[in-house]
Structure 1
Amino acid sequence: MTSDDGDVLPILHRATVQEDWIDYNGHMNLAYYVLVFDHTTDALQDVVGLDAAYREATGCSIFVVEAHVTYDNEVGLGEEMRVRTRVMDVDEKRLHIFHEMYAGDDDRPAATNELMILHVDLNTRRTSPFPDAVRAELERLKDLHSSLPRPPQAGRHIEIKKKL
């Protein structure tokens, strides 16, 4: 990430590693990375109009249906984390986002989280289209973020490559 990316990808969420987040290996436990990413997804919802007032008024929300996390560098007690989010793609009912976490005074890459999200009517528990204004804002963000290089972790899958 370059310093110029902050204009295109502002920090959506900040958190500081708490003592009870540290595991027996002496670094932040993997579950808390996901917690920080989840709070960032909530912040994105607020930005695009899927906030608490929207959920209350419409009975609609979002569900994560697929998630992939990469851990790039250890994060320790008391370190601040900053998360930026890019909209990779969006359609009528689905949203593909990519969170990038940076940590410490050196702003080192700490982790990434790629999500596939569905817009859901909570009364029927079925997918439903995003409202037009939300979809337009997500499309605007997608277009803005498409100017950045695709993250190398995006679209990856887990495998043990076969030895030749």
Structure 2
Amino acid sequence: MYTSIGMRPLMLTKEIDGFIADRLLEAVWREALWLINDGIATAQQIDDAIRFGAGLRWSFMGTFLVYRIAGGEAGMQHFLAQFGPTLQWPWTKLMDVPDLNQELIDTIVAQSDDQANGSTIRELEELRDDCLVSVMQGLRTVGYGAGEVLADFERALFDRAPAPAVAADSAQPLKVHEIRIPTEWVDYNGHTNDSRYAQMSGDAADAFLRYLGVDADYLRGGHSYYTVESHITYAAQSHAGDVVYVTSQVISYDEKRLHLFNRMHRADDHTLISTGEHMYLHVDTVAGKAMAAPPEMIERIAAVANAQTHLERPTQAGRFVGAPR
């Protein structure tokens, strides 16, 4: 029944009072009360220590796999030998701890081996890092906890990011963006999810706009370009670990509009895997309405467009879903 509603029941072989999670939370709760009682930390500091630290790892690996990694290539056996004696140190108010005898050590090591299921420490580290990134990116969408920190960091990177360097032959589509496909972008088909191509093309467009001068100062001045229409086509696959680069070509422009065409290529063999066509409208972000771009912005766009006038119009440009080739 629990499985049918999206839950995962945990079956135990021994009846206990309460739940395993409740017992663990009770131990953390008691220690937290002592930390406040002794004036060591505030409630906010304790919660921050969990949600910015251990809590992130607990959410996908629990306790024992995390400590197995801490043991290095020697695994849990080494971790217990190295840190087992600290159970007797006065780090905690909860000093009634089990005797870490050889029988308990052997039990923990055997169970840890079963849990790892043959995975090496390096594989577990990679899994941990991929999961951490996924959790933090999920939290970023709501702007809370570690996700808020990540969002602030990315905004700071955007503010500091220089305009993309233009290739020596600026008359060609400009290479404005490059990315290695993250593991979390892969869907149930084992390749990059279709929505990520829109993200890559959008990130490339942002980089192109930075090249034109749409930087943090420009945005603070109440000006920006908003997307009013997009179309993505798919030509080939990409997978986790693939390096993809994106080029931009100006199709047309006027004082308010910018028509941009992006091509996404695998870096190893330059295969075209996707295209993104976008129409942007220059806006007054304070008034919330379209406005003409400043003359200097039009000049920068014109410089790129004029250098690319010899380029053929992309065959995918202007297509709609179901249009013939």
TM over 0.5: yes
Higher helix share: 2
Does the 8 A contact of 2:170 with 2:307 survive in 1?
no
- The alignment status of 1:46 with 2:210, answered yes or no, reads yes
- The alignment status of 1:65 with 2:228, answered yes or no, reads yes
Unaligned runs of 5+ in 2: 1-167
Percent of aligned pairs sharing the same letter = 32
Instruction: Write the letter of the residue equivalent to 1:101.
Output: M
Counterpart CA distance in 1 for 2:296 and 2:256 is 13
In 2 relative to 1, CA 64–105 (structure 1 residues): closer, same or farther, beyond 3 Å?
Answer: same
Instruction: Write the letter of the residue equivalent to 2:280.
Output: I
Q: Which residue of 1 aligns with 2:240?
A: 77
Counterpart CA distance in 1 for 2:323 and 2:178 is 34
Instruction: Write the letter of the residue equivalent to 1:87.
Output: V
Q: What is the CA-CA distance between 1:45 and the residue it aligns to?
A: 1.1
Instruction: Write the letter of the residue equivalent to 2:202.
Output: D
Structure-2-length-normalised TM-score: 0.46
In 2 relative to 1, CA 7–134 (structure 1 residues): closer, same or farther, beyond 3 Å?
Answer: same
User: Matches of residues 103-114 of structure 1 in structure 2 within 5 Å?
Assistant: 103-114=266-277
Spell out structure 1 runs of 4+ moving beyond 6 A: none
Counterpart CA distance in 2 for 1:43 and 1:160 is 30
Q: Which residue of 2 aligns with 1:119?
A: 282
Q: CA RMSD in A?
A: 1.6
Instruction: Write the letter of the residue equivalent to 1:49.
Output: G
1:102-150: per-residue Cα shift (whole Å, max 9, x none)?
Answer: 0141110010000010001011110011111110111111111221111
Counterpart CA distance in 2 for 1:46 and 1:95 is 14
Q: Which residue of 1 aligns with 2:254?
A: 91
Structure having greater relative contact order (Cα 8 Å, sep ≥ 6): 1
Unaligned runs of 5+ in 1: none
Q: Which residue of 2 aligns with 1:11?
A: 175
Does the 8 A contact of 2:171 with 2:304 survive in 1?
no
Instruction: Write the letter of the residue equivalent to 1:27.
Output: H
Counterpart CA distance in 2 for 1:142 and 1:104 is 25
Instruction: Write the letter of the residue equivalent to 1:139.
Output: A
Higher strand share: 1
